[in-house]
Chains A and B, each alone.
Chain A
């Protein structure tokens, strides 16, 4: 399928491996080694996209990550990639892609009608209009949004997986062009651990794009041979890791760099297996940046037509991909490097009609070579405009005298304009590391400034453009990096380079080509192709007072595209500097932020999605709960059974059954998730006195006590029962969600404030399983499986603890109750949980022992007025607010105590915990309802609110609904009627009562 657009030979494509692909619904052919861009160009497809704002026809400009135009939607369905750059997409068999942001396609795009109104759409036009009438903004915006955006997010979930790799190395080399390879070789030979990463599939950088003639020779051999040998040597070094298709996209603090490695997207869909991309998180002792340079476009009228591309890109397409870009070309330049491109085109059989050079009298060796090839050189001239509807057909060349255009314009017909405005070193990673690039006037580019972290730039990214110096710098940087990492780098002379491109003549800065009719009236001179930002937009921004480069960037959208302004930013800054009459160094750059190039969300998320989003914690009895058909609830990281429905039962029915079993017979709950902290040491009691509001010294061994702990601001942060197991040993329980936080918090106090206390905290939450056996028949059940503990009320009173064997397992049995019933909590080693649980169920079978979940637990505790921290409290509640003054010691200090004395914290009209009984006992007030009084119920907003309902249930034991609420001065209002206005318009009347609805004397739990 060698059309007229593919050269018969040369390049790194494999003409024996043809590949078929589809673009915008049409089938084309290419070769292994092509990119999508090169394959399209080789198929004669030059109009590949429409621009974002004006929908102008656009073609391929670059050959790599800098490409602003050739943005495609790659593949579809679960393999779809929005906004892929055709210049970066390796061709594979069956590839399918389409243009974005045009309809029906780039050839004919109805959206291009917008060009008629482009005069009304200068930079920031949307700030000046769409304001009237106000209600129409939503409509306007709807269409603005529809017109925006490039590709489409996939419609189906991603089937791929992504991984993370952590790596430590002595030397990280970013970029495997000649400088990077020289650095990697030098560092690798010293024995240092080296990682060398390059964004391309093949290592070699600019060496891959060298023409067939004349070739530079490196170390006495052809550049290609040197490259092969270098790669062989690197591959053979066990201390060197080579990462192709891997972009170093972020340079963070302390030499932490992030690399995105793409492992799949070059393969046919059917061959993709395993993880698609990996993020490498690398700590490097030293970093060598060898990230190269990107050629700058020139800014002239209608410089955006398909057929206009960077001179270096033209060379790459010809030399590396064997693309015959056009039959006739013009080269437009302000420097010597494009002369090499002209020769590349010439040697490929493309007629080079002329080189238009803004320099008055270009001279030197390379210029002579061009002359020798009989290529016309038009010095002191510029291209001011171009022609062609969907593809370039001619350029208009005018002589330039200083800033003035003189003489008669000359039209030169051509299908390719290769342009070069000089080179911009890729200083992105250097700048991300915290350093400030500086503007080098002589070289007319930003070059690395003083290093802030352990990095050094080498080669083109350092503003060094000739091959020999690049390799010399690379070798020196690699050797130095190894030496600074403690390795002995042998001083190897960098290979001598016999260059084809001898010493260059200086470049003549040319940031903006003068326009025959002025920047504001002439044809658009594009600075940022992707965002359609032209020189007149920058001038307008400056005129309107947006003078900071950051303002200009934000006002015009310069550099906001997916290419992040890799082509346009420097020209834009220079044009702004000119407008403001400043030096470029005074205008400065915008901040270089990660990412260097876009990185897949899924890759950064890695494995932490789906069930691994956060680890699930389950108890030792989880399998049993699942077997019993439990409905689970997330509590903190835990899965807890919420209720155990029997066949056909609703939640309501199940909870009612479970509650009644606990009140009237016996019920059993898995309470293993409560936090358990083993606290030991001679000062344990002193410490508990500090973390709990109540006193602990006098608690006898074998006794349990309820405690609440406050933060230092005096607000309740956790609660639970703590048991004194022995003189110097306590077992603390915490809330399910609070366990880790409480342990960390106690440790912090111990280590930083009271290091003199001898106390040792150990989390034992997972070590013990806990079964709560609840109800009037719980003693009966427990006694059937526990013979060595006297369970009688006298021998084993409420709030005490005994050790013994339960179903043969060593157990701690606490007689404590979160339900107000006679109850025992049996703690056994987690490994024996199932056995003990089964035994308890068997023992209770005769009594209809009923497993219950958190929902019934909530009802049972609410009937008793027991709080749940986090539900009935919200971080702004004191013990007094909860009616727990009795739990606050007056005889000792504790964390948070002093805060309780502040005037607003000590007020007696704060929100207080109360009970609520709805007037209609069958109505359950929705949790979260706000409460108002009669007087304000019909007031218009803002309606003064007195508080809110924290917990609300139907109580099977009481045969009516109950609720807990936090109400301003609530206890004083006992007996008053409040209203809960609901969103549906209903108002529920409810009376304030004591929060203890059942058995206030505690007869049942003491039974």
Chain B
């Protein structure tokens, strides 16, 4: 594997950059692997990477039906934070954030993790109570967090609409300075390169069409490129997890919905932090290239079409213009959608299934990108040891039967 640095870059420049090797191989699938990971997004590639890196399991294939990072990894708005409300979620996302902090060096691939801070705006008195509650919990959990006044928000984001006469005036915000954004594609590519260099086979254009079982044990997967034997199969397929679960006769508490995002034309730096507003339904950051990256709402209906409703875009841009009146004349360049796997409590399901050797990692909904390294880390552990790590033990499928939900959105969704 070529080492990446300014020195190798300079050396290769002399040769017209003809000396670079492929970042990952494109091997033919073997007949058998110790572990097959279904889904070549960030989570799947991270899982393979940590299987090799942390657990010494290298006879691993990552099967991707399209191109790696082509699903939600390459379609999200790249926000990274760990300031969740409930302890279980906070610890999981904080593990991930810690991994993010050293990820470029760990992978020798610049994933451009940029800790520019994440602001969650409060627009009502109840928003502010919830912010206080969450930030206090974060800090006691060892996660950084601050509560800002409107004046402090304005100082950080001078272009924000701080008018007290706004329809929903900004009353304050929470701030996680360690949060920020990363370059989404680079995360997939960096993990792919790291996993590949440790022996993992990354197999693109390979769609899983069946999950074979024998006596309640998984034995392998049928794919568009033939049967591949494995007695451990980890499925990390986001919006398509339901399709795969049905191949194994498993029912999941998941619905797949389109989630849209959009970018403006590139403009000079004007917004240095990530700004999120649940009440006004908008979240926005500015990419290094200059585009404003805006997350739109989720469409209510089940959809696998990677496209959503124009009305959702309309609502989102109304919120953005309401929060940032000077963006009104900026122009929207492009929109797209991912398919997000939404669970009833807005928390993921990471763990064992009724089928031995078959593991699922899904239900990340709209928030999976930030969890990429952490998700891979705990899922690798779960697959390698056959039992969940304590960080993901609470995120079991059983919680839906016992009632032990980790209700991240319930906690934000009830008005008064």
Q: Are B265 and A981 in contact (CB-based, < 8 A)?
A: no
A884 within 8 A of partner (CB): no
Q: Which residues of A contact B139 (CB under 8 A)?
A: 941, 983
Of B87, B325, B411, B413, the contact of A945 (CB 8 Å cutoff): B87
**B109, closest chain A residue (CB):** A127
Q: Which of B43-51, B122-130, B237-245 contacts A (4 or more CB under 8 A)?
A: B122-130
**A520, closest chain B residue (CB):** B16
Q: Are A129 and B110 in contact (CB-based, < 8 A)?
A: yes
**A939, closest chain B residue (CB):** B140
Bound CA span A134–B115, Å: 12
Bound CA span A554–B315, Å: 28
Q: Which residues of B contact A168 (CB under 8 A)?
A: none
Among B17, B66, B305, the most chain A Cβ lie within 10 Å of the Cβ of B17
Q: Which of A142-150, A328-336, A662-670, A826-834 contacts B (4 or more CB under 8 A)?
A: A142-150
Of A128, A611, A906, the contact of B5 (CB 8 Å cutoff): A128
Residue interface bits A928-941, CB-to-B below 8 A is 1, else 0: 11101000000011
Q: Are B414 and A870 in contact (CB-based, < 8 A)?
A: yes
Q: Are B329 and A158 in contact (CB-based, < 8 A)?
A: yes
Q: Which of B6-14, B224-232, B353-361, B365-373 contacts A (4 or more CB under 8 A)?
A: B6-14
A19 within 8 A of partner (CB): no
Q: Are B269 and A149 in contact (CB-based, < 8 A)?
A: yes
B343 within 8 A of partner (CB): no
A715 within 8 A of partner (CB): yes
A902 within 8 A of partner (CB): yes
Bound CA span A943–B90, Å: 13
Of B109, B140, B405, the contact of A932 (CB 8 Å cutoff): B140
Given A141-B288, A157-B326, A601-B317: A125 in contact with B9 (beta carbons within 8 A): yes
A656 within 8 A of partner (CB): no
How far, in Å, is A476 (CB) from chain B's closest CB?
A: 30
Q: Are B25 and A137 in contact (CB-based, < 8 A)?
A: no
Q: Which residues of A contact B67 (CB under 8 A)?
A: 548, 550-551
Q: Are A129 and B5 in contact (CB-based, < 8 A)?
A: yes
Q: Are B326 and A155 in contact (CB-based, < 8 A)?
A: yes
Given A149-B267, A605-B328: A717 in contact with B414 (beta carbons within 8 A): yes
Q: Which residues of A contact B10 (CB under 8 A)?
A: 120
A819 within 8 A of partner (CB): no
Of A145, A560, A604, A735, the contact of B288 (CB 8 Å cutoff): A145
Q: Are A545 and B269 in contact (CB-based, < 8 A)?
A: no
Q: Which residues of B contact A595 (CB under 8 A)?
A: 332-335
Given A614-B167, A929-B132: A144 in contact with B17 (beta carbons within 8 A): no
Bound CA span A244–B147, Å: 50
How far, in Å, is B2 (CB) from chain A's closest CB?
A: 9
Q: Which residues of chain A from 980 to 995 have a CB within 8 Å of any chain B CB?
A: 981-983
Interface size on A, residues (CB 8 A): 122
Q: Are B332 and A737 in contact (CB-based, < 8 A)?
A: no
Q: Are A613 and B265 in contact (CB-based, < 8 A)?
A: no
Q: Which residues of A contact B6 (CB under 8 A)?
A: 120, 129, 132
Of A155, A158, A737, A876, the contact of B411 (CB 8 Å cutoff): A876
Q: Which residues of A contact B321 (CB under 8 A)?
A: 158, 601-602, 605, 609
Q: Are B266 and A157 in contact (CB-based, < 8 A)?
A: no
Q: Which residues of chain A from 120 to 139 have a CB within 8 Å of any chain B CB?
A: 120, 122, 125-132, 134, 137-138
How far, in Å, is A620 (CB) from chain B's closest CB?
A: 21
Q: Are B114 and A137 in contact (CB-based, < 8 A)?
A: yes
Bound CA span A715–B129, Å: 20
How far, in Å, is A606 (CB) from chain B's closest CB?
A: 7
Q: Which residues of A contact B16 (CB under 8 A)?
A: 518, 520-521, 536
Given A714-B403, A870-B126: A153 in contact with B140 (beta carbons within 8 A): no
Q: Which residues of A contact B133 (CB under 8 A)?
A: 927-930, 948
Residue interface bits B391-416, CB-to-A below 8 A is 1, else 0: 00000000101111101011111111
**A530, closest chain B residue (CB):** B266
Of A80, A119, A715, A930, the contact of B140 (CB 8 Å cutoff): A930
Q: Are B114 and A602 in contact (CB-based, < 8 A)?
A: no
B330 within 8 A of partner (CB): yes
Residue interface bits B25-40, CB-to-A below 8 A is 1, else 0: 1100000000000000
Of B74, B322, B401, the contact of A609 (CB 8 Å cutoff): B322
Of B270, B280, B329, the contact of A600 (CB 8 Å cutoff): B329
Q: Which of A250-258, A266-274, A374-382, A495-503 contacts B (4 or more CB under 8 A)?
A: A250-258
A891 within 8 A of partner (CB): no
Of A562, A613, A869, the contact of B266 (CB 8 Å cutoff): A562
Q: Which residues of A contact B125 (CB under 8 A)?
A: 633
Q: Are A902 and B112 in contact (CB-based, < 8 A)?
A: no
Q: Which residues of A contact B198 (CB under 8 A)?
A: none
Bound CA span A971–B264, Å: 53
Among B13, B67, B325, B331, the most chain A Cβ lie within 10 Å of the Cβ of B331
Q: Are A928 and B130 in contact (CB-based, < 8 A)?
A: yes
Bound CA span A633–B124, Å: 8
Residue interface bits A887-931, CB-to-B below 8 A is 1, else 0: 000000000000100111110000000000000000000111110
Q: Which residues of A contact B318 (CB under 8 A)?
A: 604-606, 608-609, 613
Q: Are A128 and B333 in contact (CB-based, < 8 A)?
A: no
Bound CA span A736–B415, Å: 8
Q: Are A148 and B288 in contact (CB-based, < 8 A)?
A: yes
Q: Which residues of chain A from 837 to 895 have a CB within 8 Å of any chain B CB?
A: 868-871, 873-876
Q: Are A128 and B110 in contact (CB-based, < 8 A)?
A: yes
B390 within 8 A of partner (CB): no
Q: Which residues of chain B from 268 to 317 have a CB within 8 Å of any chain A CB?
A: 268-270, 280, 286, 288-290, 305, 307, 309-310, 313-315, 317
A221 within 8 A of partner (CB): no
How far, in Å, is A726 (CB) from chain B's closest CB?
A: 30
A610 within 8 A of partner (CB): yes
Of B74, B136, B186, the contact of A127 (CB 8 Å cutoff): B186
Q: Are A564 and B334 in contact (CB-based, < 8 A)?
A: yes
Q: Are A876 and B407 in contact (CB-based, < 8 A)?
A: yes
**A537, closest chain B residue (CB):** B17
Given A138-B114, A543-B22: A635 in contact with B416 (beta carbons within 8 A): yes
**A602, closest chain B residue (CB):** B328
How far, in Å, is B184 (CB) from chain A's closest CB?
A: 9
**A867, closest chain B residue (CB):** B416
Q: Are A252 and B326 in contact (CB-based, < 8 A)?
A: no
B135 within 8 A of partner (CB): yes
Given A150-B265, A903-B403: A601 in contact with B110 (beta carbons within 8 A): no
Q: Which residues of A contact B132 (CB under 8 A)?
A: 926-929
**B111, closest chain A residue (CB):** A127
Given A132-B5, A544-B21, A602-B321: A930 in contact with B136 (beta carbons within 8 A): yes
B residues sitting closer than 8 Å to A (CB atoms) are 4-6, 8-10, 13, 16-18, 20-26, 66-70, 74, 87, 91, 102, 104-105, 108-110, 112-115, 123-126, 128-137, 139-143, 146-147, 159, 166-168, 183, 185-186, 189-190, 204, 264-270, 280, 286, 288-290, 305, 307, 309-310, 313-315, 317-322, 325-336, 344, 399, 401-405, 407, 409-416
Can you list 27 A-B pairs, Cβ within 8 angstroms, ordered by A? A127-B109, A128-B4, A129-B5, A154-B330, A158-B329, A543-B20, A547-B26, A550-B70, A550-B74, A561-B266, A595-B333, A600-B328, A600-B330, A601-B331, A604-B318, A604-B332, A606-B318, A608-B318, A613-B168, A636-B415, A738-B416, A868-B416, A871-B126, A904-B402, A948-B137, A950-B129, A983-B147
Given contacts A609-B325, A928-B130, A981-B140, 19 further A-B contacts (CB under 8 A): A83-B331, A120-B13, A129-B4, A129-B6, A134-B105, A138-B115, A141-B112, A141-B114, A154-B329, A158-B329, A545-B24, A600-B331, A601-B332, A613-B318, A614-B167, A873-B414, A875-B414, A941-B139, A945-B87
A residues sitting closer than 8 Å to B (CB atoms) are 80-83, 119-120, 122, 125-132, 134, 137-138, 141, 144-146, 148-158, 160, 250, 252-253, 256, 258, 281, 518, 520-521, 536, 540, 543-548, 550-551, 554-555, 557, 560-562, 564, 591, 593-595, 598-602, 604-606, 608-611, 613-614, 616, 633-636, 713-715, 717, 735-738, 741, 868-871, 873-876, 899, 902-906, 926-930, 932, 940-943, 945, 948, 950, 981-983
Q: What 4 A-B pairs come out closest when comparing CB atoms?
A: A928-B132, A149-B290, A941-B142, A870-B416
